[in-house]
A and B are shown apart, each in its own frame.
Chain A
Amino acid sequence: MPKKTKENDELNKGKKVTKKSSTKKATTTKSATKKASTKEASTAKSATKKASTKKATTTKSATKKTSTKEASTAKSATKKTSTKKATSKKKSSIKGTENEKVEIVEYYDLPYRYNQTIVKTLAQTPTTLFIYWDISDKDRKDFENQYGENFFQITKPILIVYNDTLGYKFEIEINDFANSWYLHVADSKCNYRIELGRRPIQKNENINVDYIYITSSNKIESPNDKILFDPNQKMVYFRNVKTNVETSKSINTLSFIRNMGKIYDIYDLYKAIYQNENIEEIYDNSNPSSSPSSRFF
C-alpha cells in the first residue's frame, strides 16, 4: 500500500451544494481540488453526463495538480439550476423533508487500476475461467532494474494454468494490452490456480532464464456439470440432522431399489424418478426461471 496520505486522488472530491427548497432553486458552488502526490497517475475530465433515468444534466470540471500513485479519473459536478427546479418542487411536497439541506453533489468514476501486483480468477462456467491481473508500478520498476529497462519489451506475458486435481498445467500467451481474459479449460470440477509470468521473446544477455515468475492467483474449484454416476458407488451415507448420528446403507439394500427388482444403480433410478425428463440433459438450461422474465428490471 502507498504510504503517502494523499492517495484519495483515486476519486474526486464531492462538491457542496446548498439547496433551499423554499425558493425552489438550487445554488451550486464548485470546488474540485486535487491534492498532490508523486506516484499515481490521474486524469481529469470535462464532460457532460446524461443519466438515462434522471433528466438532470451535469457538467463536470476538474483541475489536476499532480499525479498520484493510483490511476483515477476525477470530476466535479454542477447540476443545472433549471433541471433541479423540478426536483425541488417535488421535494417540498413531501412531508418531513427538511426545508433547507446541505447536499454533496457527487460524481465518481471507477479507477482504471489499483496499482497492485495481482492475478485473480473466477469460474464463469464449469469450463471457463475469468482471470484478471495487474503489475504494480513498483514491481515493474524492480523488474526493469533487475533485467534492464526494456524488460517489458523483450519479454512476453503468459499465464500458466495449473489443474491441481488432475495434476497437469499448460500455458497461454496473453498480451500487454489486456488486463483480463476468459480461458477455456477442459475439465470441470477441478481445482485450478493461475500463475502470471513472463518469458523472454529471444535470448538476451540480461535475462539468462527462460521464465520469470510474477505472481499467483487464488485457488478455485470449477463447478461440476454432470450427474456423477459413479459405478463404484456402493454405499450411501446418511446423517440425522437432529442427532448428528451418521449411518450408511448399501445401495443394493435400499428397499426401493430392491423392490424395483430391475434397478441396480442410480442411473436407472434417475431414469425412473425423472420420467418426463431427458436424463442425459436433466437440467434444462432454457428453463425460464433462469431468465430475467420475472424481474422488475
Chain B
Amino acid sequence: MQQKKGYVSFVLHAHLPFIHHPESDDYLEESWLYEAISETYIPLLTNFQKLVDEGVNFRITMSMTPPLLSMLDNKLLQRKYIKYLKRMIELSEKEIKRTSNDERLNRLAHYYFDRYSNDLHIFKEVYGCNLIQGFKHFQDIGVLEIITCGATHGYFPILYVNEKTVKAQIAVGVQTYEKYFGRKPRGIWLPECGYVPEADKYLKEFGIDYIITESHGILYADPTPIYGTFAPIVSPEGVIAFGRDIESSRQVWSSINGYPGDYNYREFYRDIGYEADYDYIKPYIAHNGVRVHTGIKYYRITGDTEFKDYYNVQWAKDSAEKQAGHFFDSRSSQIEHLSNYMETPPIILCPYDAELYGHWWYEGPYWLYILFKKIYYDDCNFELITPSEYIDKYPNMQISSPCRSSWGANGYSEVWLNPTNDYAHRHLHVAGDRMCELANLYPDAKGLKKKALNQCARELLLAQSSDWLFIITNGTMVDYAKKRIKDHIGRFTKLYYQIKDDNIDEEFLKDISKKDCIFPEIDYHIYQ
C-alpha cells in the first residue's frame, strides 16, 4: 500500500432559487426542482447508499442552500413532484408502445419507464417524500458533510454596501441549516463564491469555520499563500478559506475537452419534447404549448455532428469508468508532485455545481460512484476528506486575507452587475436600508405588525437572490427573473408603507405570505 500523501475534497453546491407558485401551475420554472430531484438529488442519494452498502468509506461535502431545503420541505411542491413523476411514467409507457418497432429505442423507453418508476418508489416509499432526511442520514453516519449558504443566495459583493443585509443572509442561512440538520454548520458556500472581507465578522458571529473560494480568492490573497490553493488559509478575522483547484476543475468542466463531452454520454439537447409529434407530446410540454425538455432523451453526443446515434447505457458507463480512472491517476500524480513542496499534506479542492452531476452530465453521479470506489479499493496515495476534517487534522495554517472574488465569468462581479441588470441594485439597496429602518423603528412589534415585518424580511431576501441577476445576464427566462425582482420589491415596498402608515392590509399580507412562504421562523430583528 502506498503512503497517503494528500487529500481530495469534493464539494457539490446544490442550489435552486425559491420557486413556489401556489397561485398557478403555469410556471415552467417550477419544473427545475422536479428535474433536479430526478436527475441529480435522487441519483446522488442512490449512489451514496450503494457505496455505503458496499462498505466503501468515502467523504463528500455538499452545500444545500436554504431555498432548496425550503422547496424540498414544501408539501405542495412534493405533491407536484409526484404528479410530475406520474406524468413522466405515463409518457414513458406511451413511448414503450410508440417505439415497439425499434429494439434499441424501445430498450431506452423501458429504461426511462424503470427510472421514473424507481424515482417514485424512492421518493415516496424510501424517503417519505422528504429528501432532506436522506441527505441528513449520510451526514449523520459521517460520509457527507453538509454546509450552508446565504439565505437566498444573495451576492455579498453587491449587498455589502449595507452590511446588515449580508449579516441577515448569513444568519438565516445558519438558522435554516440548524432547523433541518439539528446542528450548526461548520462551513458555508458563499453565494457565487462571492467573497468580501466585510462578511468575515458575521461568519464568525454565526459560528462558521470555513468558506469555499474561487482559485484566485486564494492565489491573489494578501500576503501570497505559500502553498497556493493546496492548503487553506485563515483570514485575520479567523475565517478559513479553501480555494478551488485549477487542474481538476478543468478536467471536469472544460466545455472543449472536459469529461461531460464524451461521445458516449447522453446528449442533453436532443429531447422528445422538441422532436416528437406535436399532438402526441402536447400534454407533456408547457401548458401554453411551447415545446420544452421532457427529460426523455434518446441520443448520445456521438460527435460534432447533427446525426446522432442512439444512447447506449453500457457504453456511457464504460466511458464514465475510463474517465474516473483518468481523474484518479491525475490526482495521484498531482499529489505526488505537490507533496515535494509542502510541509502538510496538500488538499485538492474540487467544487462543482451539484446539478452538473446528473442534470447536465447525466452520467456524473455514476462517475462519482466509480471514482470513490477506486479511491477506496485501489492502491492510492491520497484519501477523500471533508474541509472540516482537514481543519481538524491540520489546524496550523497561514494567515492571509482572501481576495475579493467570485466564481463568475472573469472572476469578479460582472455577471451580477452589468448593463443588463444594474438597474436592480439601487432597489435592492433601498429595500435593504428600509428593512433596517423598520427593524429599528419597531423593535417590539407584535401581532399583525410583527407578521408584516417578518414578511418584509422574506420579500427582501427573495429579491436579493443572485439567480435573478444571473438569469438576466444569461438571457434565458429573463421575463421571469425580472418579474421576480419586481414582485418582491413591490410587495416589500407596499408592506413597508402599510407598516409605517399603521394600515396593514391583512388579506394582502396573508396572500403574499402564502406565496412567499420561505423561512416561516424568520425574525426581522436580524436587521437591527
Binding site for B on A (CB under 8 A): 1, 5-8, 10-14, 16, 51-56, 86-87, 90-91, 93-97, 102-104, 106, 108-111, 114, 116, 120, 122-126, 130, 132, 180, 182, 189, 218, 220-230, 233, 236-243, 246-247, 251, 254-256, 260, 266, 269-270, 272-277, 282-285, 287-297
| Closest-CB distance, A42 to chain B (whole angstroms) | 13
Provide the bound-state CA to CA distance between A87 and B487, in Å. Answer: 20
Known A-B contacts: A53-B479, A293-B253. Give 15 more (CB < 8 A).
Answer: A10-B497, A11-B494, A55-B26, A86-B26, A104-B511, A108-B486, A110-B486, A122-B413, A123-B157, A125-B410, A224-B404, A239-B397, A284-B246, A290-B214, A297-B32
Q: Is the CB of A120 within 8 A of B224?
A: no
| Closest-CB distance, A192 to chain B (whole angstroms) | 13
Evaluate whether A91 and B25 lie within 8 angstroms (CB atoms) in the complex, with A125-B413, A283-B215 already known: yes
Q: Is the CB of B25 within 8 A of A87?
A: yes
| Closest-CB distance, A261 to chain B (whole angstroms) | 12
Q: Is the CB of A287 within 8 A of B26?
A: no
Q: Is the CB of A255 within 8 A of B343?
A: yes
User: Which positions 412-429 of chain B face chain A at CB distance < 8 Å?
Assistant: 412-414, 417-419, 422-427, 429
Q: How many residues of B contact A (CB 8 A)?
A: 119
Q: Does B396 contact A (CB under 8 A)?
A: yes
Q: Is the CB of A108 within 8 A of B501?
A: no
Q: Is the CB of A90 within 8 A of B25?
A: yes
Contacts of B412 in A (CB 8 A): 123-126, 223
Contacts of A11 in B (CB 8 A): 490, 493-494, 497
Evaluate whether A285 and B409 lie within 8 angstroms (CB atoms) in the complex, with A53-B26, A130-B417, A294-B356 already known: yes
Q: Is the CB of B500 within 8 A of A290?
A: no
Of all A-B residue pairs in the complex, the 4 with the closest CB atoms, nearest first, are A108-B490, A8-B497, A55-B288, A223-B404
User: Which positions 431-474 of chain B face chain A at CB distance < 8 Å?
Assistant: 437, 467, 470-471, 474
Contacts of A230 in B (CB 8 A): 223-224
| Closest-CB distance, A227 to chain B (whole angstroms) | 6
Q: Is the CB of B501 within 8 A of A8?
A: yes
| Closest-CB distance, B288 to chain A (whole angstroms) | 4
Provide the bound-state CA to CA distance between A104 and B491, in Å. Answer: 11
Evaluate whether A5 and B79 lie within 8 angstroms (CB atoms) in the complex, with A228-B220, A246-B399 already known: no
User: Which positions 479-509 of chain B face chain A at CB distance < 8 Å?
Assistant: 479-480, 483, 485-487, 489-491, 493-494, 497-498, 500-501, 503, 507-508
Q: Is the CB of B247 within 8 A of A296?
A: no
Contacts of B424 in A (CB 8 A): 110
Provide the bound-state CA to CA distance between A215 and B423, in Å. Answer: 21
Could you say which of B177-185, B225-233, B314-322, B372-380 contacts chain A? Answer: B225-233
Q: Is the CB of A102 within 8 A of B511?
A: yes
Binding site for A on B (CB under 8 A): 16, 22-29, 32, 35-36, 75-76, 79-80, 83, 157-158, 161, 209, 214-216, 219-224, 226-228, 230, 234, 238, 240, 244, 246-247, 249-250, 253-255, 258, 286-288, 337-338, 340-343, 351-353, 355-356, 359-360, 391-392, 395-399, 403-405, 407-414, 417-419, 422-427, 429-430, 437, 467, 470-471, 474, 476-480, 483, 485-487, 489-491, 493-494, 497-498, 500-501, 503, 507-508, 511-512
Contacts of B356 in A (CB 8 A): 293-294
B287, B337, B408 pick with most chain A CB within 10 angstroms: B287
Contacts of A108 in B (CB 8 A): 486-487, 489-491
